[in-house]
Amino acid sequence: MGMVDVTEKPVMRRQAIASGRISLSPATVGKIRAGEIKKGDPLQVAEIAGMGAAKQTHLLIPHCHQIPLDTVGVSFKIGDEAIQVRCHVRAQARTGVEMEALVGVSLALNTIWDMVKYLEKDAKGQYPGTRMTDIRVEMKEKVEL
């Protein structure tokens, strides 16, 4: 067992998009839109966190290869009761970048939760309506150079 040997695989242009969703109370979404979150702008911080996480995937998932990424983009779509997050990763490599996209979107979602958790807690300190869901790979592509 161990890391897959990709020595004989050709370098290709690879990209992946992963997405996920965090459900929040309408009041919390309103405060995000109004710029009233105590720790700052959760989307700005989540963008930086997602990009950094994608670049560190090989340190977080034991069998992932270290891939020099050409670009990582994190974007957001704000609804009334949720935020949709997408992470787009591109590289020229011997192996795919879908794990990098998944790690990026997951950490962006976790960062949003961390920054708004004080608004989402109920009287018992629980999170009855807060959910991270629908984390998936939307697209994976490889093209010969």
Name the DSSP letter for residue 55: H
User: Measured between alpha carbons, how far is 66 from 118 in angstroms, rounded to an integer?
Assistant: 36
Tokens standing for 65?
């290869």
Give me the catalytic one of 5, 80, 114, 134.
Answer: 114
Angle between helices 42-55 and 98-120 (to 10 degrees): 150
Q: Which residues of 3-40 are buried (b: 16+ CB within 10 A; e: fewer)?
A: eeeeeeeeebebbbbbbbbbbbeeebbebbeeeebeee
The amino acid at 94: R
In the residue annotation, 5 being an active-site residue is answered as: no
Residues with a known catalytic role: 114
